[in-house]
Amino acid sequence: HAALAQQHEIGAWGGMGHSFGDINNSRESLQFAEPAFGMFYRYNFNTRAAWYLGAAFGSTYGEDAISDDIYQQTRNLSYRTGLWEVATRFELNFFPLSRTKKDEWFSPFLFAGLSLYHFNPQALYDGNWVDLQPLGTEGQNVEEISGIDPYYRYQVAIPLGGGVKFAVSKNITMGLEVNWHKLFTDYLDDVSAVYIDPAILALGDNGDLAVALADRSAEGIDIIPLGRAGQQRGDRYRNDSFVFAGVFLSYSIVNMKCPMPGGGKGF
């Protein structure tokens, strides 16, 4: 019978991070992709299944002003946010993947898991980057408005994705992967629901700054501001998402071989 080899890997990856939301909501928004990188540990149960634990770091941004959409150009919102996460997932190889068998050197794979991530949307205003969540740009900090709570900047996500792995030597594996994150918030870019009456929004903490950054449609041009109370500001019915994609390299640090009956060496 074939003995089961236990393989432990440590590795790193580098690539890009990007988000899809109320500001970045089209193919053209891929121009906002930013560098991303991470580190990971992988435990291979066998040649087909593995468990993965990793940390990733990246950022993303978006800008209505350079969108192809006329409404977004008029809305004129923008943001940036750093992204970091700690994630665990299970991976399934389509084909057996082995570093010791010449015919098992390649396999596509899929994965699903759970992650804890942090984000902090900011906007550039008067030459300074301003944190948007504490401002409550959609009325989260106004007592006179009920049913709108501040969003949490620490959130849980479901990472889903896939890629390809290549066993290039007895100790080294390389590959490509795309890691899409299903989110449970629509505030990655601080945009979700409707505009709030500026007079009411000004009643909250940092009210004047919240008013200035909630509706930027009239900045630099002589038009009536877009943000009338109750008018759509974002799409509250579709949550945001983000993706990490890149190239990874891992090294096998342990390859424990199971003993054979009678004291022989394992496989």
DSSP structure string for 33-93: -EEEEEEEEEEESSSSEEEEEEEEEEEEEEEGGG-S-HHHHHH--EEEEEEEEEEEEEEEE
**34 pLDDT higher than 90:** yes
Nearest to 90 by CA among 43, 133, 137, 155: 43
Task: Please state, in angstroms and rounded to a whole number, the distance separating the CA atoms of residues 257 and 9.
Answer: 15
CATH of the domain at 167: 2.40.160.20
- Distance CA(72)–CA(21), nearest Å, equals 12
Residue 246 lies in a domain: yes
DSSP character at residue 2: P
Confidence of residue 27 (pLDDT cuts 50, 70, 90): low
Among 45-49, 165-169, 224-228, whose mean pLDDT is lowest?
224-228
List of residues 6+ apart from 221 with CB closer than 8 A: none
Is 211 a member of any domain?
yes
Question: What distances in angstroms separate CA 263 from CA 39, 256, 259, 260, one per listed residue?
Answer: 38, 15, 6, 6
- The whole-number pLDDT of residue 29 equals 60
**Number of neighbours of residue 24 by Cβ within 10 angstroms:** 27
Other beta carbons within 10 Å of 112: 14
In a domain, 264, yes or no: no
Give CA–CA dist 79/132, Å, rounded: 9
Q: Which residues are CB-contacts of 111 (< 8 A; sequence separation ≥ 6)?
A: 52, 89, 90, 91, 92, 159, 160, 161, 162, 177, 179
Residue 267 lies in a domain: no
Domain membership of residue 53 (yes or no) is: yes
* Whole-angstrom distance, CA of residue 146 vs CA of residue 148: 6
CB distance 161 to 177 below 8 Å: yes
Assess if residue 146 is contained within a domain.
yes
- Please indicate, yes or no, if residue 19 is contained in any of the structural domains: yes
- Specify whether the CB–CB gap between 164 and 109 falls below 8 A: yes
What integer pLDDT is reported at residue 91 of this predicted model? 98
Identify whether 261 is part of a domain.
no
Which domain range does residue 118 map to?
A: 6-256
Amino acid identity of residue 91, one-letter, is E
Domain count, the chain: 1
Asked which of 86-90, 99-103, 232-236 is least confident by mean pLDDT, the reply is 99-103
Reported pTM? 0.88
* Cα–Cα dist 233/218, whole Å: 14
CB contact set of 120 (below 8 Å; sequence gap of 6+):
81, 82, 131, 133, 153
CA pair distance 260, 265, nearest whole angstrom: 6
Q: How confident is the model at residue 5 (pLDDT cuts 50, 70, 90)?
A: very low
pLDDT per residue as tens digits for the range 129-169: 999 999 999 999 888 887 789 999 999 999 999 999 999 98
Res. 246: pLDDT tops 90: yes
